[in-house]
Amino acid sequence: MSTTSSELLSIMSLRLSMLRSGVTRPLPVVAAETELLVERLSALAADEEIRIVCTDDPLFAQYIRSSTGEVLAEIRLPNEA
């Protein structure tokens, strides 16, 4: 699946604000990667295409700049998490 950096930034910024205010309490690896992703997305052009690769079991999500192949953030959890 893919989206633009501005659309993904909007979603992830909301998640980050929920995390910071204590509304959600994700695992530390998820919190850290969310912060990193928001920071990196903020530096991109609003219309840049971001490809998202994800699976559910175990949870894996990778956010990739389509134009360069750069991985902006990656969340990987073991089956037991």
In a domain, 52, yes or no: yes
pLDDT in tens, 66-78: 999 999 999 988 7
Record the pTM. 0.89
Q: Count the domains in the chain.
A: 1
CA 44 to chain CA centroid, nearest Å: 14
pLDDT in tens, 24-57: 999 999 999 999 999 999 999 999 999 999 998 7
User: Could you tell me the residue range of the domain that residue 10 belongs to?
Assistant: 2-76
DSSP string, 34-69: HHHHHHHHHTS-TT-EEEEEEETTTTEEEEEETTT-
Spatial separation of the C-alpha atoms in residues 6 and 48, rounded to whole Å: 8
Angle subtended at Cα 77 by Cα 37 and Cα 39, rounded to the nearest 5 degrees: 10
In a domain, 81, yes or no: no
- Asked if residue 49 lies in contact with residue 64, where contact means CB atoms within 8 angstroms, the answer is no
